Amino acid sequence: MAEPAYTVLARKYRPAKFADLVGQPHVVKALSNAITTNRVAQAFLLTGSRGTGKTSTARILACALNCMERKEGQFEPCGKCASCRDIARSEDLDVVEMDAASNSRVDDVRERLESVDTRPARGRYRLFIIDEVHMLSTSAFNALLKTIEEPPPHVKFILATTNPEKIPETILSRCQRYDFRRVTLSEIVDWLDNICRIEDVQPGDGVLRAVAEMAEGGMRDALGRLDQLIAFSGVKPSLEEAERVFGLVGRAKLLELLESLSRGDARAAVLFAEEVFDSGKDVAEVLASLVSLARTLLLVAAGGGDDRGIDVPANELPKLKEVAGTYGIHGLVYLAELLTDCRQRVRRAAFPRVLVETTLVKLSMVGRLESLETLLARLDDVADAPVSIASNIDHSAETQPASEKPKPAQNAPASDSGNRPLSEREKNALDALKRQFGVS
């Protein structure tokens, strides 16, 4: 007998009512109010990054609007009536679903919109769901605009997109917009935990957290990774297995690296790069983990002892504080910037290993870099110092110990070794720098 087909978790656990949506309470509240008070817009635009619940919400909203069992004052679809069931299967006559990613031409839109004037067959409304709507061609947008401007009263549009900035203003202004946020780490972990219980999966300590971290706020991605892990390791995946499957480096190890770098240990940088490349880890994934760790360190440093909103296991906190303290807030900003930049470039880099090595070595020098304030203060000193009239007589050696002499003066030719007044351009540049960094 054939085994029953496996349904991927993301599909099996697609939210069917508003209450099932994780991490979007603001959207749920606004939509449920609109439904219960019967103030339903002509067009909705659901925006947000991928896997946060836009398409699911479009269907739930369609169900709710056309549910045959929903009573006055309620907002959840019943999920059982013929209308709810057909919509969930994408087979309802009153709901026209269109994926603009594969149907972006004007004829595709015209064809779908042909039926706008027909009365709904069964439900209250004829609903047009256009997913990934930003993919429509210009002429397709124009065709859509004509209908969205003055739709018949029985027609509603539900548009969804990851790229609202690509949608013409004329369309945007006709829509009520709902922004989906990235789901937080702990919300994802809780939801995965919930699913594991139902599925009889027993992940080891830290597994769900590692999976959730990689998803960066996208629930579909998190569920996809959990599927992958179960396929690979069975129903009791350990953290080591998860790290192996996804080519990750464990958090403890990453923290250890950042700690060594903060002490100026350039060797640690090279050794780490060697390990990542030689053991076939996914370097982009490792950099993503490092960026996320850098961000946590920044939060720790910026929080100044207030640990609220810092989403890490309690036993990691002391170490995080120590490392954050060594870098200092300036160092951490630099760290986060360099790592983010490296992560963005690494996939396309001709020599990714060199890029990673140089980035990490640079990070090992952060401790020896002076803060911008110090540098500016020193520039300031130069600007304010008295101007020597006879520039060939070197007074500067008397007014300043050699070690504190600013670099440019040191390198300047002997005849110009005194302090000269800053040019207008230099002064402006200095002022601009100070303004930018809030130094007075």
Residues near Mg ion, by CB under 5 A:
54-55
Other CB atoms within a 10 A radius of the CB of residue 278 amount to 9
Binding to ligand ADP by residue 52, rule CB under 6 A?
yes
Residue 312 sits in the site that holds Zn ion (CB under 5 A): no
Strand order in the sheet with 95-99: 95-99, 126-131, 155-161, 43-47, 176-179
Q: Binding partner of residue 23 among Zn ion, Mg ion, ligand ADP, none, CB under 5 to 8 Å per kind?
A: ligand ADP
151 binds ligand ADP (CB under 6 A): no
Which of the residues 223 through 252 are near ligand ADP (CB under 6 A)?
223
Q: Return the residue nearest Mg ion (CB atom).
A: 55
Q: Which does 379 bind (CB under 5 to 8 A by kind): ligand ADP, Mg ion, Zn ion, none?
A: none
x/- track of binding to Zn ion for residues 36-75 (CB under 5 A): -------------------------------x-x------
Selection from ligand ADP, Mg ion, Zn ion, none that 364 binds (CB < 5 to 8 A by kind) is none
Name the packing angle between helices 266-278 and 352-364 (round to 10°). Answer: 150
* DSSP string for residues in 326-360: HHHHHHHHHHHHHHHHHHHHHTT-SSHHHHHHHHH
Polymer length of the chain: 440
Determine the Cα–Cα distance for residues 333 and 292; give it in Å rounded to an integer: 13
| Residue type, position 121, single letter | A
Least separation in angstroms between residue 25's CB and ligand ADP is 10
Total of chain residues touching Zn ion, rule CB under 5 A: 6
Burial (Cβ within 10 Å: 0-12, 13-18, ≥19) of residue 224: middle
Distance CA 320, CA 317 (A): 5
Q: Which is nearer to ligand ADP, 226 or 300 (CB)?
A: 226
Our finding on whether 349 is near ligand ADP (CB under 6 A) is: no
Told to check if 47 binds ligand ADP by CB under 6 A, we report: no
Q: Does 81 bind Zn ion (CB under 5 A)?
A: yes
Residue 127 touches Zn ion, criterion: CB under 5 A: no
What is the distance between the alpha carbons of residues 327 and 369, in angstroms, rounded to a whole number?
10
The partner in contact with residue 296, picked from Mg ion, ligand ADP, Zn ion, none with C-beta cut-offs of 5 to 8 angstroms by kind, is none
Among the listed residues 227, 251, 228, 231, the one whose alpha carbon sits nearest the alpha carbon of residue 239: 251
CA nearest to 115, candidates 133, 89, 141, 97: 97
| Binding of residue 22 to ligand ADP (CB under 6 A) | yes
Q: Which one of 28, 34, 43, 53 is in contact with ligand ADP (CB under 6 A)?
A: 53
Footprint of ligand ADP on residues 182-221 (CB under 6 A)? Answer: 183, 219-220
Report the amino acid identity of residue 108. D
Asked if 64 is part of the footprint of ligand ADP (rule: CB under 6 A), the reply reads no
Report, in angstroms and rounded to the nearest whole number, the Rg of the chain calculated over CA atoms: 29
Contact residues toward Zn ion (CB under 5 A) are 67, 69, 77-78, 81, 84
Binding footprint of ligand ADP on the chain (CB under 6 A): 10-11, 13-15, 21-24, 50-56, 160, 183, 219-220, 223
